[in-house]
């Protein structure tokens, strides 16, 4: 059975800023984020995108150069009525249900490209929703081991390792956490005490040849507490490659999703998940999404943004998308 060698460097997403059509996104202004507002006061948050229209249809590459202009307050001027978010809070978790107004019939090819990409729910302070792999030919397997070494003063140090792997049923290794794999190598070079690495994968969806996993990696390298990293990963089961969201959507579709995500991050609940710049948001979106198609054929796209201050939680945005949207 083939596994990814821990000695190989992780797959890098080269030039994320070039892969997707995001421009620099301004920080939220103080006027746009009420400091004492309750969650129930956020019902007027809107998110929609309106890329500039062109007099003629150009190629996907030309549209990518148009970029994305986002308003810091979260209100995006568009040709379609954006979703309205109303807040609800339970057990310390913020969840926003989205009521989407019926869009007008598309009058341009650009509107046709983005029709159907509607935000359904936005949740804050959660872990990603666990779904299933459906009938995808994949399975999860776990590797556990304990490595050891001696410290300079002769103390026996141990590294407890538990890493989940996604395998194809034909035996091919499809995915395991690069961060966890590299951490097992760092132990021998850097550890001054005992370490722990625990990487768990859970099903996050399945659509066609794509399988998505929810990855939670907990690492302890000494100190007061462990660190937790949560993200979504989507894998092409035919090529065993991790895919980027901007590779699957058109520039117009990607822009619309990004506009809705940025609008949610500009809300009061989204403050702990705001990113420093457009490039960081771009990286999170490309490396943190899941696809799922249910038995009725409804396809959803889930995008998660990790917390910028407190590790272990995410902001989760679920979109309904046309079944034929994936490239």
pLDDT attached to residue 57: 35
DSSP class of residue 30?
G
Distance CA 162, CA 164 (A): 7
Check: CB of residue 84 under 8 Å from CB of residue 46.
yes
Query: Which residues lie across from 319 on neighbouring strands?
Result: 119, 301
| First-to-last C-alpha distance (Å) of the chain | 31
Tokens 């995008």 identify what position? 303
Distance CA 76, CA 91 (A): 31
pLDDT attached to residue 310: 67
Over its C-alpha atoms, the chain yields an Rg (Å, rounded) of 21
> In terms of CATH architecture, what is 138-242?
2-Layer Sandwich (3.30)
pLDDT tens profile 57-108 = 333 333 333 343 333 333 333 333 333 333 333 334 555 444 333 444 444 4
- How many CB atoms are located within 10 Å of the residue 115 CB? 17
pLDDT attached to residue 206: 95
Q: Which residues of the chain have pLDDT under 50?
A: 1-19, 23-92, 96-113
Phi-psi region of 93 (alpha: psi -120 to 50; beta: other; left: phi over 0): beta
Distance CA 231, CA 312 (A): 10
Q: What pTM did the predictor assign?
A: 0.69
Q: Which long-range contacts (C-beta less than 8 Å, at least 24 apart) are formed by 223-228?
A: 226/196, 227/311, 228/311, 228/312
Give the start-to-end residue ranges of the domains of the chain.
16-131+244-321, 138-242
DSSP class of residue 170?
T
Tokens coding 121:
């729910």
Query: Which residues lie across from 218 on neighbouring strands?
Result: 198, 228
């Amino acid at each position: 059975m083939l596994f990814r060698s821990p000695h190989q460097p992780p797959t890098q997403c080269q030039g994320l800023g070039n892969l997707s059509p995001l421009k620099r996104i301004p920080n939220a202004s103080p006027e746009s984020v009420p400091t004492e507002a309750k969650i129930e006061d956020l019902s007027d948050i809107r998110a929609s995108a309106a890329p500039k229209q062109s007099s003629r249809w150009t190629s996907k590459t030309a549209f990518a150069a148009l970029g994305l202009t986002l308003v810091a307050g979260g209100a995006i001027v568009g040709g379609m009525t954006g979703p309205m978010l109303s807040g609800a809070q339970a057990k310390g978790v913020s969840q926003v249900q989205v009521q989407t107004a019926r869009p007008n019939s598309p009058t341009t090819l650009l509107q046709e490209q983005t029709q159907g990409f509607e935000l359904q729910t936005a949740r804050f302070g959660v872990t990603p929703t666990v779904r299933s792999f459906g009938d995808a030919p994949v399975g999860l397997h776990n590797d556990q081991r304990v490595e050891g070494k001696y410290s300079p003063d002769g103390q026996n140090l141990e590294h407890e390792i538990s890493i989940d792997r996604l395998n194809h049923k034909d035996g091919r290794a499809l995915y395991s956490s690069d961060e966890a794999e590299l951490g097992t190598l760092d132990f021998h070079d850097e550890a001054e005490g005992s370490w722990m690495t625990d990487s768990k994968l859970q099903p996050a969806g399945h659509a066609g040849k794509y399988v998505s996993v929810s990855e939670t990696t907990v690492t302890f390298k000494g100190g007061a507490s462990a660190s937790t990293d949560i993200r979504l990963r989507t894998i092409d089961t035919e090529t065993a490659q991790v895919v980027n969201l901007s590779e699957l959507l058109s520039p117009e579709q990607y822009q619309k999703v990004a506009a809705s995500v940025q609008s949610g991050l500009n809300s009061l609940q989204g403050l702990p998940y705001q990113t420093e710049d457009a490039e960081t948001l771009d990286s999170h979106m490309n490396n943190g999404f899941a696809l799922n198609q249910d038995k009725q054929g409804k396809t959803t796209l889930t995008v998660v943004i990790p917390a910028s201050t407190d590790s272990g939680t995410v902001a989760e945005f679920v979109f309904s998308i046309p079944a034929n949207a994936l490239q």
